[in-house]
Amino acid sequence: MWGVSDATWTLSGFGDEIDPDPGVQAAVLQALGASSIEVRSAWRTNVVELDDDGLDRLATVLERRGMRVSAIASPIGKVDVSLPVEHELGRLDRAIAAARRLDARYIRVFSFYRPDGVPAGDVRDDVLFRMRALASAAEAAGVVLLHENEKEIYGDTPERCLDIVESVGSPALRLAWDSANFVQVGVARPFDDGYGMLRPHLEYLQVKDALAATGEVTPAGEGDGQLLETLTALRDDGYRGYASLEPHLTDVDALGGSSGPAAFGVAARAFRRLTDRIGVALA
């Protein structure tokens, strides 16, 4: 251990990486010491496609297990920037409905794909227009959007993540940090190159790592994402938020990934070894 700390972070995870059934998702997460779940899909249906009855059914499952929802892991913004803004505002309405029914404060979003060969700067104005519209809707609804630095969207580098959050300037738009995604887009040392500039806007931690040479996703601490340095800095900065496991250790596609219970357990134990080392408790 590098020092004694009174920091406690809330452990969560993308339940659908474990199993399509949210009951199984919750059971496995609880066995790994998590008190919360990040909801992306249930029964193979994305959270923004669940109708009110589906949300009621999901809420009942999670309430019976005593699981809280750390965030609604929506796919909003994982579409081409050429689509009209109303397309994603409509999906945001469903994500907000899910957040309300599941008692979640956060909704994860992205900052849009662009056609192959089009420079990021060419779509900046279109991206910011859409992100402002989404943030305004979130403000009105009393929820907070978390922009994830996903691969190949506008905000996939630290500089463009900063551009989005500062240009929009809304309290309803904050950042989720994903070290693996930064590595996969060529940010060789995410902590050195991005943490300082983004920390004032960082409100959520997604946990996975990756190898710079191949882009392969690894458990936390086994790649080049500088997880130990990042976690230590968060501890020292007074971070007391969520740490959400997103292992991506087996199948991965544009809308997410899967790991299964065994690989998810590998990822959870790897992360806990790092937090144990720096004296951070997970609950």
CATH of the domain at 158: 3.20.20.150
Cβ-Cβ contacts under 8 Å for 119 (sequence gap 6 or more): none
Q: Is residue 2 part of a domain?
A: no
d(CA 200, CA 260): 34
Question: Per the confidence metrics, is the pTM higher than 0.85?
Answer: yes
Q: Is residue 179 part of a domain?
A: yes
Helix axes 227-237, 260-277, angle to 10 degrees: 60
Q: Is residue 34 part of a domain?
A: yes
Q: Is residue 219 part of a domain?
A: yes
| Burial class of residue 74 in the structure, from the number of CB atoms within 10 Å of its CB (0-12 exposed, 13-18 middle, 19+ buried) | buried
Q: Is residue 3 part of a domain?
A: no
Residue 251: pLDDT band by 50, 70, 90 thresholds? low
Q: Is residue 117 part of a domain?
A: yes
Residues 107-157 have pLDDT tens digits of 999 999 999 999 999 999 999 999 999 999 999 999 999 999 999 999 999
Q: Is residue 89 part of a domain?
A: yes
Q: Is residue 1 part of a domain?
A: no
Q: Please give the pLDDT value at position 252.
A: 52
* Lookup: tokens for 82: 């050429």
Residues 168-211 have pLDDT tens digits of 999 999 999 999 999 999 999 999 999 999 999 999 999 999 99
Residue 149 host element (H or E): none
Residue-number span of the structural domain to which 100 is assigned = 8-282
Q: Please give the pLDDT value at position 1.
A: 44
Domain count, the chain: 1
